[in-house]
């Protein structure tokens, strides 16, 4: 049998690592080619890692919640054949191997009588006890070693790993040079998820009737991003009311024909996105990001589209090069990203590279809002609910009161680099494009 190294695949230009959230297979399970082996999560998207080959899962190198780098081996799969597939070449210093083997031999040979481990409720093999005594590993330390054997028992490899990491002269060589497939030698420790130095206490219900639920992983990330954004950017808002009567009438007139011809539903979102992309071309000062004391002027206009997930969390897929899309192309991009977001099929790259974000708070009936900037961008636009309202209509014959379809645009921008003139002019330009919408245009 040969071993195939299952590695964390590249998931996008800016994605360097992922967190393992669930193993779908366990050691000994058969695996078909292209079958999902585990689930992972980046800072935005959850996805699955499939196997490139058929075989049997022989070894799992990381646990749930471990953070893994792109390209790092995460498991081994036994396949038919006689060579190791995609196994990385390791230069194993002979001195490092000999030093570890010497540690084992010395520990076993020097023990003349068994150490008393009767105070421990755990089972330890004679060899493990001998090594523990020789290396002055206390019972408390031994009990805290995560055993990889059956029922969590500490194996020879486990204690050797612990001992080797305590030796200054061996630790660095062993961690960087000893490969994981070398038996009878301590394996390098797997990277662990960093733990907070101060452990957060679990709140207690005062009356006993309150339900206490820990945030899920994505909600914790969102919470951190929102707080960080408010602490980073000097948020300021501009609001403007827009008459979108022509847009509403046009959509009502063409939506059936649009769906029949294009196979896509026509919502208001692509129309608004089209106007935002045009305004960003007119005001490139809004299509920037900030890094320290430097401003990065973005070449492409990539519109983030905030979308609510079924579990209540939020995700922001990105429409790349939005200014190059016509209305049909925009509608297809909006529907594709929105549909895949709902069923959890977004790819990591789908959420990367945004230069400006739009969020539709009107979906839930909100008239306007004060959205938080999606860092490191400098602006975000909230689309309010479209409402029928009485309005003054100016005509050559005089003014009169009529029923119009109106909405509010709420623009949050970073006052560190965007002043009121630019922030206000930008959202006014979006409003102008929407109010000048041609009700007789084709789609």
- Closest Cα partner for 258 from 341, 346, 317, 334? 334
What value, to the nearest 5°, has the Cα angle with vertex 203 and ends 202 and 209?
Answer: 125
Question: What is the token pair recorded at 241?
Answer: 């009311």
Residue 249 exposure: Cα atoms within 13 Å on the Cβ side:
14
> For 197, which DSSP code?
S
Which string of DSSP letters, residue by residue, matches 22-73?
EESS-TT-EE-TT-EEEEEE-SS-EEEEE-SS-EEEEEE---TT-EEETT-E
Cβ-based neighbour number of residue 320 at 10 Å = 17
* Max CA distance (Å), the chain: 112
Question: What is the token pair recorded at 401?
Answer: 């009161």
Residue 239 contacts residue 409 (beta carbons within 8 Å): yes
The catalytic residues are: 415, 419
**What SS3 state is found at 76?**
strand
**What SS3 state is found at 271?**
helix
């Amino acid at each position: 049998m040969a071993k195939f190294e299952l590695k964390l695949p590249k998931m996008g230009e800016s994605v360097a690592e992922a967190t393992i959230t669930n193993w779908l297979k366990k050691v000994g399970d058969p695996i078909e080619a292209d079958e999902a082996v585990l689930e992972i999560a980046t800072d935005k998207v959850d996805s699955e890692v499939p196997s490139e080959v058929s075989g049997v899962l022989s070894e799992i190198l990381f646990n749930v919640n471990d953070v893994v780098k792109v390209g790092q081996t995460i498991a081994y799969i036994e396949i038919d054949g006689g060579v190791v597939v995609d196994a990385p070449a390791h230069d194993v210093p002979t001195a490092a191997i000999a030093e570890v083997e010497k540690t084992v031999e010395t520990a076993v040979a020097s023990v003349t009588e068994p150490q008393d481990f009767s105070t421990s409720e755990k089972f330890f093999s004679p060899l493990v006890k001998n090594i523990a005594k020789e290396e002055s590993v206390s019972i408390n330390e031994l009990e805290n070693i995560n055993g990889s054997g059956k029922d969590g028992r500490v194996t020879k490899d486990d204690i050797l790993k612990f001992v080797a990491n305590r030796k200054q002269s061996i630790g660095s060589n062993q961690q960087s040079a000893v490969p994981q497939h070398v038996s009878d030698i301590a394996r390098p420790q797997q990277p662990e998820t960093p733990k907070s130095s101060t452990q957060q206490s679990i709140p207690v219900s005062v009356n006993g009737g309150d339900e206490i639920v820990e945030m899920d992983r994505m909600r914790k990330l969102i919470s951190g991003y929102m707080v960080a954004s408010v602490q980073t950017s000097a948020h300021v808002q501009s609001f403007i009311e827009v008459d979108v009567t022509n847009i509403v009438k046009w959509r009502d007139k063409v939506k059936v024909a649009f769906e029949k011809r294009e196979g896509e539903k026509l919502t208001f979102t692509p129309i608004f996105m089209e106007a935002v992309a045009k305004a960003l071309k007119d005001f490139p000062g809004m299509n920037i990001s900030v890094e320290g004391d430097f401003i990065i002027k973005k070449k492409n206009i990539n519109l983030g589209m905030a979308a609510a997930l079924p579990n209540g969390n939020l995700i922001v897929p990105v429409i790349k090069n939005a200014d190059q899309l016509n209305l049909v192309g925009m509608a297809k991009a909006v529907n594709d990203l929105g549909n895949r977001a709902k069923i959890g099929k977004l790819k990591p790259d789908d959420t990367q590279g945004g230069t400006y974000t739009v969020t539709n708070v009107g979906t839930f009936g909100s008239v306007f809002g004060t959205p938080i900037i999606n860092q490191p961008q400098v602006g975000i636009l909230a689309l309010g609910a479209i409402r029928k309202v009485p309005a003054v209509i100016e005509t050559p014959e005089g003014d009169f009161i009529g029923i119009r379809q109106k909405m509010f645009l709420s623009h949050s921008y970073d006052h560190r680099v965007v002043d009121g003139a630019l922030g206000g002019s930008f959202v006014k330009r979006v409003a102008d494009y929407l109010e000048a919408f041609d009700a007789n245009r084709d789609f």
